Structure 1
């Protein structure tokens, strides 16, 4: 049987979550980390802010793109009701569980570290992403199911014609630029619990789905022009760094975002679309690791920051502690069937033999 699974999309999701973990750890070593709820190192590593800024404009939008692509795969074998039920179990249930049982742990660690009164402050913290995705699925699934039933529709034909042209990126950029101009986010990279993050994620989610609908031309185009897209993204970042001290300009930030994403898609399609035992493990672990990583990050920070070590060594130590803690946690979770649904894991025995679906699935976070 032909394997239709898109391993490159799986890899990009894993890589994006890995970058998310490193990015969150890097915040601990910035002079403003405490102001957004992170424990803050007394010594800073401000030099790492430049590569962080290059990642910042595309790492979260990329995850929203991939999540929209995941819905395209999910609807191939589902009607509207089964899609909503499946997404509720995969996204909304872990969101609620994390909000009630994961987020309070790292809140309490932060409060204890800073000698504050212990109190639960309701809020999604890093799980805001899952809350947004839950809303997008609820709002857009009827439209997506409708489009699935319109094989050969004008929308699909138009998208395929659009993506034939490498300049299609600039057409796709129009709503993204309008969002930035109208909402005027400050800063652009502040996605969590903001209208900017919600609307930008909504646009990326739709765009990811549309990329799959027009995939017959989209993927060959990003493959052919990947270096142009990536080079333009780097050039726009350098302009932002040198001329604008990383602050803007607003009208170019979403254009930079899309160039990075299209370039990354092209590179992934070229080099990552192949089966791998490592990918199998990482792809299964990525979702629960994302859900629990802040607990291990905060615990590692709590234990390591007070130690007498060079600041660079502390940074590496927190990364290692967080990674080991997360994967140890994953090994425990995957052996507890009752806990799996709350942390986004399927019982693989239940889907064994469903080859067509397994080959098509892309896990959505």
Structure 2
């Protein structure tokens, strides 16, 4: 394993921008599918729920949020070249926490209301619900909606506080990462090549899963979510270390076909053991296969992205400024579409197609017609003010979410 010499990439990493945007298309598809997948809890559930959706959803779910956090780490690696600890905390805090607060107060409440009404624990009438929700004066019935025990919820926006905490941890320890020891760790990771690059990053993930997963099931409530923190923060660090290094991206590109074949083999073996062994397969083997698949899938996506997407696509500029508002808006629009369309009994084909179309159309209309045009709304959706946006000259992808870093909702099933 030869340490890599960091060589700065060109000013803009178009592949990271493109992957962030494409990841959010997956997020919308995933959350529409959550309404239809049988036996998986979600805010609302369709009478057309199908069991066959479970395995395709698992195959996607095993790496989708991990990739989002890795891309967010890559973006932080670029940003940290030009900002110190307090600059990172100030800029990331504003772009993550302001949309979180705005989203919890304005965007998310309808999701909680629709779920509460569907559960028969909230009286119809959104205005009355919203007044009670915002006042947080009265406790909600148990399990009225996700997060009812706290009186207020962030639902799909959970990614934002998680990303802020990870960013703050790196920013506050920035002297450590820029020290000789920190640079040594970065060089050793970026110096991985061949089989070492495909296998060694899996080992910490397997260790976290074996040690923490049985004791700390996923909650997305930030506090006590130690298993998910261990996985997400680890891949976030991987991205931060990879950042501007040229060698490791070239290695991922060279290995893209191998990593894809190995990812297919790993998930195939995982599914075969889960289905065929009927619960008798050793837990450590399932954990190893699941986490190997997760890393190999990300390696294949990053390698193919670096090979085929690292160019200034005409749609990228629009996508870069649209992806964050789409992330904030999409799940509420899905719920609105479900509430409107479900009573029409359109069936398991036309209904999801219309829900998806309404969600994408609503995101486009609200983002391009309102959010991007109204000055005071822009920071509420993570966008810079127009003057600052026009003057900036980014040295790297400035991600947040996707989850890029934008991201998205719920993890492993």
Aligned length: 357
Query: Residue 41 of structure 1 aligns to a residue in which SS?
Result: coil
Q: Pick the aligned partner of 1:52 from 54, 57, 66.
A: 57
**C-alpha contact 1:237 1:256 (8 A) present in aligned 2:** yes
Q: C-alpha displacement at 1:146, in angstroms?
A: 4.7
- Alignment partner, residue 184 of structure 1: 213
Q: Pick the aligned partner of 2:38 from 8, 31, 43.
A: 31
- Alignment partner, residue 253 of structure 1: 290
Q: C-alpha displacement at 1:154, in angstroms?
A: 2.6
* Mapped pair 1:336 → 2:343: no
Flag the 1:102–1:145 CA change in 2: closer, same or farther, 3 A. farther
Distance across 2 between alignment mates of 1:226 and 1:349: 40
**C-alpha contact 2:194 2:255 (8 A) present in aligned 1:** no
Distance across 1 between alignment mates of 2:28 and 2:36: 14
Q: Pick the aligned partner of 1:173 from 193, 198, 202.
A: 202
Flag the 1:187–1:225 CA change in 2: closer, same or farther, 3 A. farther
Q: TM-score, with normalisation over the residues of structure 1?
A: 0.90
- Alignment partner, residue 361 of structure 1: 397
Q: TM-score, with normalisation over the residues of structure 2?
A: 0.80
The structure where helix makes up a greater share of residues is: 1
Distance across 1 between alignment mates of 2:215 and 2:49: 23
Structure 1 segments, 4+ long, off by >6 Å, are none
Structure 2 spans left out of the alignment, 5+ residues: 1-8, 124-128, 134-147, 402-413
- State the Cα deviation string for residues 74-118 of structure 1 (Å, max 9, x = none): 112212111110000111221122122222121112223444325
* Mapped pair 1:347 → 2:354: no
**C-alpha contact 2:63 2:297 (8 A) present in aligned 1:** yes
Aligned positions of 1:1-365 closer than 5 A:
4-33=11-40, 35-36=41-42, 38-118=43-123, 120=133, 121=148, 122-144=152-174, 146-148=176-178, 153-161=183-191, 163-184=192-213, 192-193=220-221, 194-212=225-243, 215-245=245-275, 249-331=286-368, 332-355=370-393, 358-365=394-401
Alignment RMSD? 2.4
More relative contact order in 1 or in 2 (CA 8 Å, sep 6+)? 2
Structure 1 spans left out of the alignment, 5+ residues: none
